[in-house]
């Protein structure tokens, strides 16, 4: 079998895609790079917002046309597959295999079946399964828990991924050891709410460390860089900030979603904290990690949000001074309380507010990135940029970074970079040695064009 996987959504979905790919390879499948070369196409879906659902609907329509022309097995997995909305879509577009997020290990049974296979049960063995490390990559994701015990009124995740289940610390550290042995240098711990690790359905699990303790264990493993996502402010503790500040391997990067700066909107969202509590966490973070890079998530235009509510979100953005944010227009999702009980705002109101928030975010990102000019940053370079004369990567604070290739540095690795220029979304610099001196750059293939084109112009 020649298999091709398509992934939408979050880093958890990327991890799940790797897990299923490893299962397929163990069954003898060959992974191919295109739909045209495949006889099995599996789509890992996202249901958090309407846009990724629309993308899945579109590609399923194209795959149905292909099924009419040649033998082709089509599968769906992930959050959308767990919902009635996705199951109706599967019937309409003649999907052969349907796997919810808790049934990914059923992929072998699904392919052996001679009829339509739908696996939608949450299986306990998934939580103890350890996939092989990614081959030839410096970065890896490591899931530490699945599901969520919170019930935000806009969120479909508790329905699609179930209640929180923390993986055992032994399994986590075993998987980490395998990743390090494979050459991984940066690990991102994943979960719907990582800082609630070890407290499932409100009960502390015997023998499990707290999330702060787990961070320290991972940070002492020998890995170069540790990150984590995503956190819920309700479960954030000062000990987590302290662990980051005290452990050199843990990156000074915190992604703490706020969703809104208005207490009234936060109550309607059932976020379980208010603005004051959130700002207390920010103060703790900045106290323990003075050079912290702060990211957040914000939903614009939640049902009932007034202009005054939105102004409170803008003022919170200024009070915190985020480096960047993931900003979304509220997307009503069938099955959520906000979909059932609240009236959506007009699209044009939501869009106009989002544009204002994006403008504010660009101002802050430009200011924060400009402050990096002249500094030396530790950058994980992943490989060639769009222009093969350059390498691209990211700092410990997740700033996208581009550098020209230099003698001795033409491929992936962690290197020191002196930042020379910055935009709101990108840093540009030069590779430097241990003394901060620039490394000699490789000659460009077209030096005349290179002399006329700066990295900022290329962006």
> Binding site annotation covers 46?
yes
Would you say 10 is a known binding-site residue? yes
Residue 130 and residue 171 in contact, taking contact as beta carbons nearer than 8 Å: yes
Strand-strand pairing, 97-99 and 73-78: parallel
Tell me the helix, strand and coil percentages in the chain, rounded to 5: 40, 25, 40
DSSP-derived letter for residue 250 is: B
What values do phi and psi take at 341, rounded to 5? -115, -15
Which residue(s) pair with 41 in the sheet? Answer: 4, 74
Tell me the C-alpha distance between 76 and 46, whole Å.
Answer: 10
Torsion of CA 121, 127, 132, 137, to 10 degrees: 100
Omega cis (within 30) before 8: no
Which class for 340: exposed (0-12), middle (13-18), buried (19 or more C-beta within 10 A)? exposed
Number of other residues whose CB lies within 10 A of the CB of residue 383: 12
Instruction: Confirm whether residue 251 is marked as ligand binding.
Output: no
Binding residues: 10, 46, 79, 148, 152, 155
Q: Which residues are annotated as part of the binding site for [4Fe-4S] cluster?
A: 10, 46, 79, 148, 152, 155
């Amino acid at each position: 079998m020649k298999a091709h996987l398509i992934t939408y959504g979050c880093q958890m979905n990327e991890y799940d895609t790797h897990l299923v790919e490893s299962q397929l390879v163990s069954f003898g499948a060959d992974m191919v790079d295109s739909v045209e070369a495949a006889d099995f196409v599996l789509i890992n879906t996202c249901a958090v917002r309407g846009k990724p659902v629309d993308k899945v609907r579109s590609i399923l329509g194209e795959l149905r046309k292909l099924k009419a022309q040649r033998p082709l097995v089509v599968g769906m997995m992930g959050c959308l597959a767990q919902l009635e909305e996705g199951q109706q879509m599967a019937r309409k577009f003649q999907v052969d295999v349907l796997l919810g997020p808790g049934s990914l290990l059923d992929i072998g049974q699904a392919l052996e079946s001679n009829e339509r296979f739908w696996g939608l049960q949450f299986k306990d063995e998934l939580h103890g399964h350890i996939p092989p490390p990614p081959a030839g990559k410096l970065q890896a994701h490591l899931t530490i828990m699945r599901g969520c015990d919170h019930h935000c009124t806009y969120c479909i995740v508790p329905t699609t991924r179930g209640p929180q289940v923390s993986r055992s610390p032994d399994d986590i550290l075993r998987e980490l050891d395998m990743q390090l042995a494979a050459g991984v240098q940066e690990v991102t711990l994943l979960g719907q709410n990582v800082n609630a690790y070890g407290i499932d359905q409100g009960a502390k699990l015997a023998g499990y460390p707290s999330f702060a303790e787990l961070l320290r264990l991972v940070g002492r493993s020998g890995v170069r860089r540790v990150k984590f996502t995503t956190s819920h402010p309700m479960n954030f503790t000062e000990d987590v900030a302290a662990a980051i500040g005290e452990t050199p391997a843990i990156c000074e990067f915190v992604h703490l979603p706020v969703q809104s700066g208005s207490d009234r909107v936060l109550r309607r969202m059932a976020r379980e904290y208010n603005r004051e509590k959130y700002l207390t966490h920010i103060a703790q973070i900045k106290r323990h990690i003075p050079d912290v890079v702060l990211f957040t998530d914000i939903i614009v235009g939640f049902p009932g949000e007034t202009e005054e509510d939105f102004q409170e979100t803008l003022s919170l953005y200024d009070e915190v001074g985020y480096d960047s944010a993931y900003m979304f227009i509220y997307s009503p999702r069938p099955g959520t309380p906000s979909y059932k009980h609240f009236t959506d705002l007009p699209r044009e109101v939501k869009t106009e507010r989002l544009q204002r928030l994006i403008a504010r975010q660009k101002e802050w990102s430009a200011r924060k990135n400009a402050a990096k000019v002249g500094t030396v940053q530790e950058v994980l370079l992943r490989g060639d940029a769009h222009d093969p004369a350059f390498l691209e990567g990211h700092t410990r604070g997740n700033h996208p970074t581009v550098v020209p290739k230099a003698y001795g540095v033409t491929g992936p690795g962690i290197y020191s970079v002196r930042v020379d220029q910055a935009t709101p979304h990108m840093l540009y610099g030069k590779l430097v040695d241990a003394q901060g001196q620039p490394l000699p750059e490789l000659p460009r293939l077209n030096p005349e064009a290179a002399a006329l084109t700066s990295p900022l112009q290329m962006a």
